[in-house]
Amino acid sequence: MRLDRFLSETTPLTRSLAKRALKDGDVTLNGKPIKQAATQIDTEQDEVTFNGEKLELVGLRYLMMHKPTDVECTARRGLYPRVIDLIDLPKVERLQPVGRLDADTTGLLLLTDDGQWSHRVTSPRHRCAKVYIAELAEPVEGSAAKWAINQVAEGIMLEGEETPTQPALLRFLTPTQAELTITEGRYHQVKRMFVALGNHVNALHRQSIGDITLPNDLAPGEWRELTAEEIASF
């Protein structure tokens, strides 16, 4: 790997700033100052330091977060803080949400810098089940609940769509709290499904994705690395 590329991947430096740091004598290779940006290094054998600190490549990362409300799953800074602002890791900007949640939606969020793994989780072909808990504006009971459950099981048409939703599983925990399991990821799908059923979602929480369930001891805003078993489940 070129030395300037290695620096840009292990520090906050861009390639141009990495070249400047080399010229300024801030970088050593195996204990000796080096200034040639095009120098090829062995990332496993050679030791590179920047301002006296040893550098190491960041491998692929797989995280889960309990996303709090009023936090955005975007790269750009906007009205709310970004989820990556809550994560203290090097090169955190490389991490991408695996299926976004709206700013006002809470719950399980996966993040990774492994694009292939992310695609396996989100691809409609894989029919990955996602479980949401919705707090509803209007209570649903009796025959109305049975009707809603049957409609969701058959697939419903959303406004602006040309095909119905895939069959999904709806369960009412209370008259105003519902658990919905879907295998798609259409735009604002859960909220739009309840609108199509004549209701409105006041609050939404994602509880699980595939075999990964949000742990009870992971507080809003906290995150942890996925286990090898969790990573391999997709």
Summarize pLDDT for 13-65 with one digit per residue, the tens. Answer: 888 999 999 999 999 999 999 999 999 999 889 999 999 999 988 789 999 99
pLDDT at 10: 86
Give the DSSP H or E segment for 205: strand 201-209
pLDDT at 79: 85
| In the block, residue with structure tokens 């936090």 | 71
As beta bridge partners, residue 184 has none
pLDDT at 125: 87
pLDDT at 44: 87
Per DSSP, the three-state class of 171 is strand
* Distance, CA of 166 to CA of 192 (rounded, Å): 14
Q: What angle do CA 155, 157, 162 make, to 5 degrees?
A: 115
C-alpha dist (Å) from residue 182 to 11, 124, 159, 179, 207: 40, 11, 18, 10, 12
**Are 232 and 131 within 8 A, CB to CB?**
no
- Catalytic machinery residues: 102
For residues 1-16, give the mean pLDDT: 89
Q: Are strands 201-209 and 105-112 parallel, antiparallel or unpaired?
A: parallel
Sequence-distant (≥ 6) Cβ neighbours of residue 86 within 8 angstroms = 65, 71, 221, 223
